[in-house]
Protein backbone atom coordinates (compact mmCIF):
# COMPACT_ATOMS: atom_id res chain seq x y z
CA UNK A 1 0.00 0.00 0.00
CA UNK A 2 1.44 3.42 -0.89
CA UNK A 3 2.58 5.64 1.95
CA UNK A 4 1.05 9.10 2.37
CA UNK A 5 2.76 12.45 1.98
CA UNK A 6 1.83 13.12 5.62
CA UNK A 7 4.09 10.25 6.71
CA UNK A 8 6.83 10.85 4.15
CA UNK A 9 7.40 14.48 5.14
CA UNK A 10 9.12 13.25 8.32
CA UNK A 11 11.67 11.26 6.30
CA UNK A 12 12.84 13.68 3.63
CA UNK A 13 16.06 13.30 1.69
CA UNK A 14 16.71 14.79 -1.72
CA UNK A 15 15.71 11.52 -3.45
CA UNK A 16 12.93 8.98 -2.94
CA UNK A 17 13.47 5.43 -4.25
CA UNK A 18 10.52 3.03 -4.41
CA UNK A 19 9.89 -0.60 -5.36
CA UNK A 20 6.42 -1.11 -6.80
CA UNK A 21 5.09 1.90 -8.74
CA UNK A 22 1.56 0.50 -9.22
CA UNK A 23 -0.63 1.76 -12.02
CA UNK A 24 -1.64 5.03 -10.39
CA UNK A 25 1.75 5.88 -8.93
CA UNK A 26 0.28 6.90 -5.59
CA UNK A 27 3.61 6.50 -3.78
CA UNK A 28 5.29 8.70 -6.38
CA UNK A 29 2.64 11.39 -5.96
CA UNK A 30 2.99 11.24 -2.17
CA UNK A 31 6.77 11.64 -2.42
CA UNK A 32 6.46 14.69 -4.68
CA UNK A 33 3.86 16.31 -2.42
CA UNK A 34 6.05 15.62 0.65
CA UNK A 35 8.91 17.54 -0.96
CA UNK A 36 11.32 15.05 -2.51
CA UNK A 37 13.21 16.58 -5.45
CA UNK A 38 13.60 13.33 -7.40
CA UNK A 39 11.70 10.04 -7.43
CA UNK A 40 12.98 6.73 -8.79
CA UNK A 41 10.50 3.85 -9.00
CA UNK A 42 10.49 0.34 -10.45
CA UNK A 43 7.48 -1.79 -11.41
CA UNK A 44 7.58 -5.45 -12.48
CA UNK A 45 4.11 -5.56 -14.06
CA UNK A 46 4.28 -4.19 -17.66
CA UNK A 47 0.65 -3.05 -17.68
CA UNK A 48 0.97 -1.13 -14.42
CA UNK A 49 4.29 0.33 -15.57
CA UNK A 50 2.69 1.67 -18.78
CA UNK A 51 -0.21 3.19 -16.85
CA UNK A 52 2.19 4.88 -14.45
CA UNK A 53 4.40 6.08 -17.31
CA UNK A 54 1.44 7.89 -18.89
CA UNK A 55 0.73 9.75 -15.65
CA UNK A 56 4.30 11.00 -15.09
CA UNK A 57 5.77 11.18 -18.62
CA UNK A 58 6.02 15.00 -18.50
CA UNK A 59 7.46 15.24 -14.99
CA UNK A 60 11.27 15.38 -15.17
CA UNK A 61 11.55 14.66 -11.43
CA UNK A 62 10.16 11.13 -11.91
CA UNK A 63 12.31 8.28 -13.24
CA UNK A 64 10.40 5.05 -13.92
CA UNK A 65 11.79 1.61 -14.76
CA UNK A 66 10.27 -1.73 -15.72
CA UNK A 67 11.83 -4.75 -14.05
CA UNK A 68 12.47 -6.52 -10.77
CA UNK A 69 13.93 -4.71 -7.81
CA UNK A 70 17.23 -6.52 -7.17
CA UNK A 71 19.62 -5.32 -9.87
CA UNK A 72 17.62 -2.12 -10.31
CA UNK A 73 18.07 -0.96 -6.71
CA UNK A 74 21.81 -1.50 -6.72
CA UNK A 75 22.40 0.31 -10.03
CA UNK A 76 19.98 3.12 -9.17
CA UNK A 77 21.50 3.80 -5.74
CA UNK A 78 25.00 3.75 -7.24
CA UNK A 79 23.83 6.24 -9.88
CA UNK A 80 22.35 8.58 -7.26
CA UNK A 81 25.45 8.31 -5.06
CA UNK A 82 24.03 9.78 -1.85
CA UNK A 83 21.70 8.79 1.01
CA UNK A 84 18.08 8.33 -0.09
CA UNK A 85 14.74 7.49 1.43
CA UNK A 86 13.96 3.99 0.17
CA UNK A 87 10.41 2.62 0.31
CA UNK A 88 10.23 -1.16 -0.09
CA UNK A 89 6.62 -1.75 -1.08
CA UNK A 90 6.83 -4.71 -3.48
CA UNK A 91 7.08 -7.30 -0.73
CA UNK A 92 5.44 -10.58 -1.72
CA UNK A 93 4.51 -9.55 -5.27
CA UNK A 94 7.50 -10.65 -7.32
CA UNK A 95 7.25 -14.38 -7.95
CA UNK A 96 10.76 -14.78 -9.37
CA UNK A 97 12.58 -13.54 -6.26
CA UNK A 98 12.19 -12.63 -2.62
CA UNK A 99 11.98 -8.86 -3.21
CA UNK A 100 12.71 -7.78 0.35
CA UNK A 101 15.82 -9.97 0.74
CA UNK A 102 17.01 -9.07 -2.77
CA UNK A 103 16.50 -5.37 -2.12
CA UNK A 104 18.35 -5.41 1.21
CA UNK A 105 21.25 -7.36 -0.30
CA UNK A 106 21.43 -4.79 -3.11
CA UNK A 107 21.57 -1.96 -0.58
CA UNK A 108 24.39 -3.76 1.26
CA UNK A 109 26.38 -4.00 -1.99
CA UNK A 110 26.28 -0.23 -2.53
CA UNK A 111 28.22 0.37 0.70
CA UNK A 112 26.13 3.43 1.64
CA UNK A 113 25.23 3.25 5.34
CA UNK A 114 22.89 6.22 5.73
CA UNK A 115 19.88 5.42 3.58
CA UNK A 116 16.59 5.74 5.43
CA UNK A 117 14.60 2.59 4.65
CA UNK A 118 10.82 2.20 4.99
CA UNK A 119 9.42 -1.35 4.76
CA UNK A 120 5.68 -1.72 4.18
CA UNK A 121 3.26 -4.47 5.21
CA UNK A 122 4.49 -5.14 8.74
CA UNK A 123 2.14 -7.55 10.52
CA UNK A 124 -1.18 -6.09 9.36
CA UNK A 125 -3.05 -8.74 11.36
CA UNK A 126 -1.74 -7.35 14.65
CA UNK A 127 -3.80 -4.32 15.47
CA UNK A 128 -2.42 -3.18 18.82
CA UNK A 129 0.70 -1.13 19.37
CA UNK A 130 1.75 -3.45 22.19
CA UNK A 131 1.61 -6.56 19.96
CA UNK A 132 3.46 -4.85 17.14
CA UNK A 133 6.23 -3.56 19.38
CA UNK A 134 6.69 -6.97 21.04
CA UNK A 135 6.81 -8.65 17.63
CA UNK A 136 9.43 -6.19 16.40
CA UNK A 137 11.57 -6.82 19.49
CA UNK A 138 11.43 -10.57 18.78
CA UNK A 139 12.56 -10.08 15.17
CA UNK A 140 15.43 -7.66 15.73
CA UNK A 141 18.24 -10.21 15.47
CA UNK A 142 16.58 -12.80 13.23
CA UNK A 143 15.91 -13.30 9.53
CA UNK A 144 16.09 -10.33 7.22
CA UNK A 145 16.67 -7.89 10.06
CA UNK A 146 20.23 -9.24 10.19
CA UNK A 147 20.66 -7.81 6.70
CA UNK A 148 19.55 -4.41 7.94
CA UNK A 149 22.28 -4.53 10.58
CA UNK A 150 24.80 -5.41 7.85
CA UNK A 151 23.93 -2.14 6.15
CA UNK A 152 24.38 -0.13 9.35
CA UNK A 153 24.83 -1.65 12.81
CA UNK A 154 23.68 1.62 14.39
CA UNK A 155 20.33 1.94 12.65
CA UNK A 156 17.38 2.78 14.89
CA UNK A 157 14.45 0.50 14.05
CA UNK A 158 10.84 1.35 14.90
CA UNK A 159 7.30 1.15 13.54
CA UNK A 160 4.95 3.86 12.38
CA UNK A 161 1.19 3.60 12.18
CA UNK A 162 0.15 4.73 8.70
CA UNK A 163 -3.59 4.15 9.15
CA UNK A 164 -5.83 6.88 7.87
CA UNK A 165 -8.98 7.51 9.87
CA UNK A 166 -11.35 6.16 7.23
CA UNK A 167 -9.26 3.02 6.62
CA UNK A 168 -8.31 2.22 10.21
CA UNK A 169 -10.49 -0.86 10.49
CA UNK A 170 -10.29 -1.87 6.84
CA UNK A 171 -6.58 -1.79 6.05
CA UNK A 172 -4.14 -1.56 8.92
CA UNK A 173 -0.81 -0.47 7.51
CA UNK A 174 2.26 -0.63 9.73
CA UNK A 175 5.57 0.47 8.25
CA UNK A 176 8.99 -0.37 9.67
CA UNK A 177 11.41 2.55 9.72
CA UNK A 178 15.12 1.80 9.50
CA UNK A 179 16.51 5.16 10.50
CA UNK A 180 20.12 6.43 10.48
CA UNK A 181 19.08 9.24 12.83
CA UNK A 182 18.60 8.16 16.43
CA UNK A 183 15.87 9.82 18.49
CA UNK A 184 14.41 11.56 15.44
CA UNK A 185 11.11 11.98 17.29
CA UNK A 186 12.44 12.38 20.83
CA UNK A 187 10.55 15.62 21.39
CA UNK A 188 7.47 14.56 19.47
CA UNK A 189 4.27 13.42 21.16
CA UNK A 190 2.28 12.24 18.13
CA UNK A 191 0.18 9.08 18.38
CA UNK A 192 1.23 8.34 14.80
CA UNK A 193 4.55 6.92 15.92
CA UNK A 194 5.62 3.95 17.97
CA UNK A 195 9.20 4.42 19.03
CA UNK A 196 11.41 1.47 19.77
CA UNK A 197 14.94 2.47 20.60
CA UNK A 198 17.72 -0.09 20.56
Nearest to 5 by CA among 170, 180, 162, 115: 162
CATH topology classification for 5-194: Rossmann fold (3.40.50)
Task: Give, for all 198 residues of the chain, the pLDDT tens digit.
Answer: 668 898 899 999 999 999 988 768 999 999 999 999 999 999 989 999 999 999 999 999 999 999 988 889 999 999 999 999 999 975 654 444 568 888 999 999 999 999 999 988 665 454 455 655 566 555 555 567 888 989 999 998 887 877 654 444 445 567 888 999 987 776 554 444 444 433
CA distance linking residue 116 with residue 106, whole number of Å: 14
Nearest to 150 by CA among 119, 179, 118, 108: 108
CA distance linking residue 67 with residue 109, whole number of Å: 19
Amino acid sequence: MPISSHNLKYFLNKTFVETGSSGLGLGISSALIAGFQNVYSVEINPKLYKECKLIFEKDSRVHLSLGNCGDWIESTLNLIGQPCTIYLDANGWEMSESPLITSLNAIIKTGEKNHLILIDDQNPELLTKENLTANLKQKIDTGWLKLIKEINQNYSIYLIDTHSEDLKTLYPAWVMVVDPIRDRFLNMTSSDFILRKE
